[in-house]
Amino acid sequence: MFFQIELWVNSSLGLSPRSMTPSNASFSKYSRFVSPIKFVIQTKHLINKAVFNKMKDSSLFINTSRGGIVNEKDLIEALKNGDISGACLDVFESEPLPLDSELRNMENVILTPHTAGMPDGRKFHKKRYDFFITNIKRVENGEEPESKLNQIL
């Protein structure tokens, strides 16, 4: 274990979802849990109340794979009760994360967009940042942004 992290591996590496069951993990030994797990019907809500109850209360749960593998209601309950110390999430059961989600206002939760990787290399990120800069300038100049999804207030 590198940095004392319990790492569950993706089933696309040859492991079946059955081998990733909570009973096969040593939750009480580690303080950080990273879950790069593929979402398939067998992994839906794989991480739930039973899993959070087995973790140390000092545990940090990190999910950057798929939101459906985590039962968010159980995660919120574990965070509120202090069953785990915090969570870092860039994926959610419902995308985008609903505005009224309790996760948005919890001090022990870090939420980020699901853009950590570089799937298309630097060209992808440059194109995205150029898009943002163009739209920020458009709004500053009183123009409508490109690809507007929400009303400007």
How far is 109 from 69, CA to CA, in rounded Å?
A: 17
Is 95 noted as a catalytic residue in this protein? yes
Which amino acid would we find at residue 9?
Answer: V
Q: pLDDT tens, 35-83?
A: 667 778 888 888 899 889 888 898 888 888 888 889 999 999 999 999 9
- Residue 123: pLDDT over 90: no
Q: What pLDDT score does 150 carry?
A: 61
Catalytic, out of 6, 66, 72, 93: 66
pLDDT score for 102: 97
Q: Which of these, 22, 91, 38, lies nearest to 62 by C-alpha position?
A: 91
Q: Please count the helices (runs of H) and the strands (runs of E) in the chain.
A: 3, 5
Identify the pLDDT of residue 135: 82
Q: Distance between CA atoms of 63 and 110, rounded to whole angstroms?
A: 11
* pLDDT interval class at 108 (50, 70, 90): very high
- Catalytic residue among 45, 77, 102, 114, which? 114
CA gap 116, 124 in Å, rounded:
12
Please say if 66 is a catalytic residue: yes
- Asked whether the whole model's pTM tops 0.75, one would answer no
Maximum mean pLDDT: which of 15-29, 35-49, 100-114: 100-114
Q: What is the pLDDT of residue 74?
A: 97
Bridge partners of 63, per DSSP, are 89
pLDDT of residue 87: 93
Q: How many CB atoms lie within 10 A of CB 35?
A: 23
Q: How far apart are CA 103 and CA 114, in angstroms?
A: 16
The pLDDT of residue 118 is above 60: no
Domains defined for the chain, CATH in brackets? 2-116 (3.40.50.720), 117-153 (no CATH)
Of the residues 95, 128, 143, 144, which is catalytic? Answer: 95
Give 120's pLDDT tier (boundaries 50, 70, 90).
low
Burial (CB < 10 A; 0-12, 13-18, 19+), residue 20, is: buried
H helix intervals, the chain: 49-54, 72-81, 121-140
Residue 10 has pLDDT above 60, yes or no: no
